[in-house]
Every structure is written in C-alpha cells, then in structure tokens.
Amino acid sequence: MSYVVWQLPVKQSNKTGYDWIHPKVKYHCFVNNTSLCNKYWQETLYFETGIDDEKISSSPQLVCSICYRRWEALYIQPKKERF
C-alpha cells in the first residue's frame, strides 16, 4: 500500500544542522517518501508541512506541475475500461 502526502520539501543546513524550507518552494506529492517528480526524498512522517487534496485541486498553482500531472493521472482520473 502506498502512502500519498503533499508536503513542502525540507532541507537541512550543513553548517547549522537546522531544517528549513525555501520560501519559494512549491508542494510536492510524496509517495512512500519519494516525490512523484523524483526531485526529492524525505521522511514524510517527521514533518508537518502537508496540505490536503481538496486544497491541491482548488489551487494547483501551489504545487509542482510534474507532481500534479502524475498525481492526477494516478489517483484522480478514473481508469478507463478496455472492451
């Protein structure tokens, strides 16, 4: 079973050791800790930067366009049956 969550990617400073989020970053869709665009990996259970699916659907400008298209194709659009 895959765990799907929309979160902001969190980075850690090598100098200070603190976690931080870039002010211009967009939300990414993480499935089992890897973003659908394959740019980020993070332990999603450790961070509370998430946003719900309803907000994503109503405001797609807040999210990574690659993640959004892949998420929509995998989880939102109904599968078409073949006859």
> Which domain range does residue 59 map to?
4-76
Establish if 23 belongs to a structural domain: yes
Indicate whether 82 pLDDT > 80: no
Dump pLDDT digits (tens) for 7-66. Answer: 999 887 777 778 878 889 999 999 999 999 999 999 888 877 778 888 888 888 999 999
Chain-centre distance for alpha carbon 31: 8
Q: How far apart are CA 36 and CA 67, in angstroms?
A: 5
- Answer yes or no: is 50 within a domain: yes
Structural domain contains residue 24? yes
Distance CA 11, CA 53 (A): 23
For residues 3 and 42, give the distance between their C-alpha atoms in angstroms, rounded to a whole number. Answer: 13
Residue 81 included in any domain: no
* Domain assignment of residue 31, yes or no: yes
Q: Say how many domains are in the chain.
A: 1
Evaluate if pTM is beyond 0.85: no
